[in-house]
A and B are shown apart, each in its own frame.
Chain A
Amino acid sequence: MFARITNMPKTQLPIQLQDWFSSKGWAIRDYQAHMLNQARENRSTLLVAPTGAGKTLSGFLPTLCELIEAPMQGLHTLYISPLKALTHDIQRNLLAPIEAMGVDISVETRTGDTPSHKRQRQRKKPPNILLTTPESLMLLLSYADAKHMFRHLRTVIIDEAHSLAANKRGDFTTLAMARLSALKPDYRRVGLSATVAEAEVLAAWLGPSGEPVDVHRVANVVKPKVKLMRTTADIPYGGHMATYAVADIYREISQAKTSLVFVNTRAQAELIFQSLWEINEQGLPIAIYHGALAKDQRHKVENMMGQGLIRSVVCTSALELGIDWGNVDLVLQVGAPKGVARLLQRIGRSNHTLDEPSEALLVPGNRFEALEALSAIDAIEHNQMDHEPYHEGALDIIPQFIMNCAIAGPVAPEDIYQQVLLATPYGGLERDTFMQLWRFTIDGGYALSHYDRYHRLEKREDGLFEPASKRVTLRHRQNIGTIVEAGRLKVKRLRRAHTGKIIGEIEEYFAQQLVPGDTFLFAGECLIFDTIKDMCVEAYPGKGKEPKIPSFVGGQMPLSSFLADAVRLLLAEPHRWVDLPLQVREWLDLQAEFSAIPQLGKIMIEHFPYRQAQYTLIYTFEGRKANQALGMLITKRMEKLKLQPLSFSINDYGLSICSLKVIDKAQMLSLFHPDILGDELADWMLSSPMLKRSFRHVAMVSGLTEQNHHATRKTMKQVTFSTDLIYDTLREHDPDHILLKVTQRDAERELLDLQRLTDLLIRYVGKIDFIELPKVSPMAIPIVLNVRAEIIKGSGREALLEHATLYDEAESMLAEVREMLANASL
């Protein structure tokens, strides 16, 4: 944690801390001293440092000093982490020095796993240091005694701030901090972040509106050593699982002392883990770790890792944030790295000290991913970083925030509005929009609402608002947060009939496609599905021929736009291809020969028949927002031209459209014509599955509906109904409703606006290379294999169904009816 430096800089550390440092042979680093000075001046600070720099303890050092110098009762420091697991890890790391120093400082965690009696006690008698998550903090703020609990608060530490800032959960966190400021105005904010491209944006995010915190950067002294993994196996054209490389991965694991094998999805974790054990001749202790495993399972792995009993862990992003696992000397990234910052974070898990280079190997899942991997390696070599664009705060969280405040005590809208403005992402929120969200929170705020007798908040005689019932309060507390997940079922590993251990969770839709006897991979073993009982999937361990792999909807990560650009450059610069594996170069040569390589300043379009339909691949390299908007525009025009589009899918490089009809060059050029469809396109977008998806999320976060944890009672399923139906009804009957606005704004995070879309099309004029092919091109394979297609409702699907319709007897039946009706009218 702390560096072994002999000439210790002069700082006024309390004697206990000095002794402890000396006993370890450690000295405090410059930036740790800096953090102490900042704290003495009560200045909020963002510390940006590479992984392995001992950031987290730097954040706590001022707290430890203050608590040693002036012991106190009550809450001094609140630590917020994006991961539950991180809070437990930090607790261990803090308790060690506290016990060694023999000082009286209490440290506790509070997460969804904390038992309720302990949670109650924590509110009455909080520890000095409380380690928690954004959701648990918001929940704490919903109690009437919050002001009392936080009355001594001095410091709030936000760990891994970079991972929170660019998303809804980050918006949510800033609102919680704004609320804390209303309860206890002068606390200090400390942000801890891995290296980011634009620290100033993060500093603004961390501070109250208009008051960015100070930034302190720690330079990255040693560059990590990152290479493509050497392999003689055939790298596949498509797919992301990378099972082809398992023998090589095993070789690397067996040569390293301790390694982490990062994969991109939970399904991939299961598959790679299983494949490794199939060839584990040396019987190496290899474990698996991902977020769907039960707490016990994860703790077991964490403990064994801590004791050095494990050689390698196959893990997902659940492990990439700051958990300290000691002596990892190799990181393998299996599958595309997706982003430079993310890759660096993962790589930083190895050689967890500042002075030695981390070592990492990249294992691309397919040949296209080899391009991404090489681009990422080049970016690291040249100190380039991707960064997330700044965005305005998500509006669906506001109703949740209003409820949260009202539950803690009666509120007036103006007070809450002022608090919301204190959070940087909401600094520009118009009063009018806030009031619409306020009215939504009260009773739905519908224009034609003839039925608003039932309110969530009711006005008291003094003009303040309070929850209408206990049920409202309870439901709000059960649904706090911004993470909307698919329905989950617990997995029970059976020993005997109906008795066994819960080993984790799988998504409901996966569970429902299982029939008794089916096998699936979970928690690193093959299970035979038996039944679903009491919200549990019951399964026996056993062997199966082709076990299924549970997939998780939330599993896919988009590539950073920075990396997409880097890949486009790499393609345009063939002299750099020498660093690619031979097979990948051969694949590119084949592509050049069969079709073409996308060129800078050109839009390459491939069109070919594939799997009983026609595919159009448009290589834009413009990023997902542009590709999504373009997909909607082009399919809309295809629908108009009766080309019968069926679906489209976007990826980081372009988009792929599936249609029934063949498209010729003239038609293709007309699809890109830069005239605007205006309202027509707006309407098409509003009815798209993407907007409905956004609405589903908005509906749950804003409290319109709740995450249905009971949908698993199958026979009741017809009673629940999808938010799509509400969306359609609302659009038709109340088109100006605030939630529709919120949905649109939400979707705009994933979508280019019309003006920029038009600009894009104008730039494309005269630059389109249309290539008709007899079959799928080598480069297109990984893209068309992507199953996440956006369905287009319209003539294409209708044509498919019409074709399948049983018309045989229709004529004779019609004749019969005609005759019958004629006789009846006689």
Chain B
Amino acid sequence: MTPNHLERLVNENIASIFRFANKIWLADGLGALYLPEIHLLVVSDLHFGKGSFLKQHGHPLPTYDTIATVELIEKLLERYQPITVLCLGDSFHDVRVGERLSNAEAMAIRAMIKQVQQWIWVLGNHDPDIPAGFAGDQVSTWEYEDIVFTHEPVTDLDPASYQIMGHFHPKLTHSIKRQQMTGKCFIASMHELIMPSLGVYTGGLPVDDPVFEEVFTTSANQTVLCYQEKAFLLHLNK
């Protein structure tokens, strides 16, 4: 990641640059987070195998979602060339995904993992276990300096520290000049940052849902809207 490349991403609204936890981050319009300082790429709520999970209940759904989600991550790896990739939980939709993945899907996931030096699975409520055969460290939370990366919010944290989480799939509707733009979003307060979901078969929870108030220790003050694959740092409409 050269500074020029990074500048181009920001100027073309492919990513928004913002400050959180005294660090500078990039929020990518596809829904990923990048920390230039340590070349860390964070993705959340991939929900691999959600299509096939639903299909086994008799919905004749197309199950192209896993491959489509892998393709999104491939695009991000190409874009940011990270040293470390952190998956922030609910990477696999359920504990039996392993049995349902096709060879092609499993190979695509393995090839994706192989591309980076360090791959970390933070475990989530959907994936207390990562299916066998996939490399990468499995952790319940991951820390960098005073920042905790976790799937669901950690409650007994030092109030001075920071946490970055997934789980909630935030989405936002922003109005400008009577036009409404809706998309998934990053939303942050002073100490908490919630990531959008990346999996192609994941829906969103509007950020005005009371659930978000419970998570934030101070009120939310920054949001990045992902719209048409671009990123826009916005004031929150009140």
Contacts and interface: CB of A to CB of B under 8 A. Distances in A.
Given A797-B228, A804-B234, A820-B36, A726 B3 contact: no
Indicate the member of A443, A726, A802 with the most B CB atoms within 10 Å: A726
B167 to A, nearest CB: 9
Interface string B159-174: 0000000001100001
Interface string A449-474: 11101101000000000001101100
A440 B100 CA distance: 20
A801 B100 contact: no
Interface string A714-757: 11011111100110111011100100000000000000000000
Contact of A801 (B51, B60, B62, B181): B181
Contacts of B209: 714-715, 717
Nearest to B233: A806
A703 B60 contact: yes
Interface stretch (B64-72, B73-81, B116-124, B142-150): B64-72
Nearest to B234: A804
B169 A797 contact: no
A537 to B, nearest CB: 17
B7 A729 contact: no
A798 B203 contact: no
A443 B62 CA distance: 10
B203 A729 contact: no
A721 B177 contact: no
A283 B44 CA distance: 62
Interface residues of A, number: 69
Contacts of A721: 201-203
B58 A725 contact: no
Interface in B8-63: 10, 13, 16-19, 24, 36-37, 51-52, 55-63
B216 interface: no
A530 B59 CA distance: 37
A612 to B, nearest CB: 4
Given A441-B60, A729-B200, A800 B177 contact: yes
A484 interface: no
B178 to A, nearest CB: 6
A718 B233 contact: no
Given A613-B177, A718-B202, A821-B36, A729 B227 contact: no
Nearest to B16: A805
A714 B210 CA distance: 10
Contacts of A680: none
Contacts of A444: 55, 60-62
B205 A804 contact: no
Interface in B80-96: none
B56 A817 contact: no
Interface stretch (A321-329, A595-603, A616-624, A807-815): A807-815
Interface in B179-205: 179-181, 197, 200-205
Contacts of B233: 805-807
Contacts of A805: 13, 16, 232-234
Given A718-B197, A805-B13, A805-B233, A456 B174 contact: no
B176 interface: yes
Nearest to B105: A450
Given A468-B58, A737-B62, A813-B18, 6 more contacts: A442-B60, A471-B57, A612-B177, A646-B179, A733-B62, A801-B227
18 contacts: A443-B60, A475-B58, A613-B179, A703-B60, A704-B60, A705-B59, A715-B211, A717-B209, A718-B202, A718-B205, A729-B64, A730-B62, A732-B68, A791-B180, A800-B176, A803-B176, A804-B232, A807-B233
Top 8 closest A-B pairs, CB basis?
Answer: A721-B203, A444-B60, A450-B102, A718-B169, A733-B64, A818-B3, A801-B232, A612-B177
Interface of A: 440-446, 448-451, 453-454, 456, 468-469, 471-472, 475, 611-613, 646-647, 658, 703-706, 714-715, 717-722, 725-726, 728-730, 732-734, 737, 791, 793-794, 797-798, 800-807, 809-810, 813-814, 816-818, 820-822
